[in-house]
Amino acid sequence: MEGMDNFPAGYNMGPVRIEPATVLAPMAGITDTVFRRLIRAQGGCGLIMTEFTSSHGIIATNKHPGRRLSKSFHYLYFEPEEHPISAQLFGSDPEVMAEAARVCEASGFDAVDINFGCPVKKVVTCNGGSGMLRNLPLVETLLKRVREAVTIPLTMKFRAGWNDSELVHLQMAKMAEDNGLAAIALHPRTREQGYSGRADWTRIAEVKDAVKIPVIGNGDVTTPEAAIEMVRQTGCDAVMIGRAASSNPWIFRQIREYLEAGAYYVPTEDDRWRIMHTYYAMLIEKGGLDVVGKMKQFATYFTHGVRSGAKLRTSIYQERDAAPILGLVDAFFERELRRGESLATVLL
């Protein structure tokens, strides 16, 4: 495929080398430590990121070290094998954000990332996420304060603007470069678009032409071919993948295989069984209040394209305990795989 030779081997996030040049996007409710470690185990992902985390929540927890850890703090829990890992923060108070970034640095993160992209109403209403795109002076103040507060690399993820008539991607990119950020990631949809329509990759190319710091492209990369095409069209320094990774945790490894051999392995139903079993077992081992909820959530992702997957999902949704759900998964795939083998024998 044209452009494969131009795919970057990696990029430098300040003193931190990210290789390969692929990034797991921060996703609320998805990229917790269990999912991140699952992605790491498949190989091929250069940088992973936490769920976006409230800077106010971090500070509230840090001021009361004897108190039970809050939900916000749990977002920042990670294991040693997750390095390199970046903590993503959101908020609109420069001083609070700076203090939260200090907590992240002290916790051992390799970098801190600021979210200027989340389109969710409750975040935007508090002037967080993409809500900040309408207040560039505040963005600059925030970047300055956080950059002064930490020594680890500072990056940011942002959208192209509030809507198509209020595009600020070039101003945001130049502001980041001027204030010492180590890299930037652009999702080229606007806040108004949400996740609808197509991501306009020409905006990523415009940002790449405007700054010298690494530019990470994000949006509509659902296959290895799309990752190569994004780099070909935009010249970006790395590719960030979000939603596609939730249903295809192998996508980063597939990109590596495609670049090395021009082809990549397509997981079988047996592979889907193994990864679903592994993820559920990891959830049970970690424990917590929402294990069953996570199992139900990821049943939708992991059974994507699986024969009779709807039946398995229905069974999982009806359960209230974790262990029976794991049993349902194993019994379902054993039955389906035997059925597939029987059908193949008949066809022969």
Using the structure block, give the residue that is written with the tokens 């500072």: 154
- For residue 47, give both structure tokens: 């940088």
Point out the residues that are catalytic.
118
- For residue 228, give both structure tokens: 């190569």
Q: How many CB atoms lie within 10 A of CB 162?
A: 18
Instruction: Identify whether the C-beta of residue 27 lies closer than 8 Å to the C-beta of residue 51.
Output: yes
Give the burial class of 164: count Cβ atoms within 10 A of its Cβ; 0-12 exposed, 13-18 middle, 19 or more buried. exposed
* Helices first, then strands: H and E counts in the chain: 15, 11
Contacts of 94 (CB under 8 A, 6+ apart): 138, 141, 142, 144, 145, 146
- For residue 106, give both structure tokens: 């002290």
What's the Cα-to-Cα distance from 160 to each of 98, 163, 189, rounded to whole Å?
24, 8, 6
Contacts of 81 (CB under 8 A, 6+ apart): 37, 40
Q: How many CB atoms lie within 10 A of CB 90?
A: 28
Element (H, E) at 87: strand 85-90
d(Cα 313, Cα 160) in Å, to the nearest integer?
A: 36
Contacts of 177 (CB under 8 A, 6+ apart): 184, 211, 212, 213
- For residue 318, give both structure tokens: 């009806």
- For residue 282, give both structure tokens: 């990891």
- For residue 12, give both structure tokens: 């430098």
Q: Report whether the peptide linkage leading into residue 84 is cis, meaning its omega lies within 30 degrees of zero.
A: yes
